[in-house]
Amino acid sequence: MTIGMPLRTEIYGEIDADRATSLSEEIKEEVANRMDYDLPQETFCDTFRNEADAAFKSKYKRLGARVTK
């Protein structure tokens, strides 16, 4: 899974690669901590991707990050 993040945003200005990695890691850990690891693999991946995308949009409004396969 990849979290695509622009390096320059309207609200946050320029974001260097280390900061982008840190933001992505924070969201992935937050979502992973509440996931059901007994789900079938495909369901787990789709759910994780959707939850991570929603978490980014909720926590970092107007950042422009997106979660992709």
Q: What is the pLDDT of residue 69?
A: 66
Could you count the other beta carbons within 10 Å of the beta carbon of residue 19? 13
- The 10s digit of each residue's pLDDT in 7-32 is 555 566 777 778 878 888 899 999 99
Do 15 and 60 contact (CB within 8 A), yes or no? no
Region at 3 (left for phi over 0; alpha for psi -120 to 50; beta for the rest):
beta
- The 10s digit of each residue's pLDDT in 32-56 is 999 999 999 999 999 999 999 899 8
Q: What is the pLDDT of residue 33?
A: 97
Confidence of residue 3 (pLDDT cuts 50, 70, 90): low
Q: Quick check: helix, strand or coil at residue 8?
A: strand
Q: What is the pLDDT of residue 9?
A: 59
